Amino acid sequence: MGKVELNKQEKENRLLDTAFQLFTTKGMKKTSISDIVNNAGVAKGTFYLYFKDKYDIADKLIVTKTRELCQQAAYRMLAADIQGAENRVIFIMDDLINELAQTPMLLNFIHKNLSWGIFRSALTRAEEKQELASVEFFQRIFGEEIEHWKDLPVMLYIIIEMAGSTVHSIILENDPMTLEEFLPHLHSSVRSVMKNFQVLE
């Protein structure tokens, strides 16, 4: 990569970082493109060399951040050597919740803008980049026991939505209860939902 390429990469990253910083502190609506370029120390026109508009940079951020979180969780799961798909799902979920609980702004940002579609593309694009692929991601979780489960995508969809939307208001507003109080309920709910998708022999 030549000097110019590196410089471009750095500019784009600086814009992404600054935008993320501002989106998570002031919120997307109150963050203007002027804010972003001023804080990033680049000219306004430069922004438009890299992104179509505010929503474009937001989408790219969500994809990036979501992928980072998932990868991190997957690596930790492997490191912790968790056995059994049910335990692994719970582990991943807890890891993500834990992470998001520490940066509520990120949760807020992701939640408001994340759709199932973007989520899928976050995992898919990782694949393209030879990083942790979505297929691989799920194989790491279900691995050897993949034939013991039916309708996996439906199950994951339900779990992701259930966990995502419940913890959102809990983390951001401690309402209707604290995360500590809620987690045991979430765990048992997830486990019982999963039971429905288990193939009994």
Partner DNA sequence: TATGAATGAGACTTCATTCAT
Partner DNA sequence: AATGAATGAAGTCTCATTCAT
Nearer of residues 41 and 84 to DNA, judged by Cβ: 41
From 32-40, 65-73, 128-136, 175-183, give the range in contact with DNA by CB under 7 A: 32-40
H, E, C per residue of 77-139: HHHHCCCCHHHHHHHHHHHHHHHHHHCHHHHHHHHHHCCHHHHHHHHHHHHHCCCCCHHHHHH
Of residues 2 through 21, those in contact with DNA by CB under 7 A are: 2-4, 7-8, 11
Q: Which does 129 bind (CB under 5 to 8 A by kind): DNA, a copy of itself, none?
A: none
Give the residue among 199, 82, 103, 192 at the shortest CA–CA distance from 145: 199
Which of 1, 45, 147, 175 contacts DNA by CB under 7 A?
A: 45
- Residue 198 has what DSSP assignment? B
CB of 47 to DNA, least distance (A): 7
Would you call 183 exposed, middle or buried from its count of C-beta atoms within 10 A (0-12, 13-18, 19+)? Answer: middle
Q: Which does 122 bind (CB under 5 to 8 A by kind): DNA, a copy of itself, none?
A: none
Q: Which does 15 bind (CB under 5 to 8 A by kind): DNA, a copy of itself, none?
A: none
Q: How many residues does the chain have?
A: 201
The footprint of DNA (CB under 7 A) covers: 2-4, 7-8, 11, 30-35, 42-49, 52-54
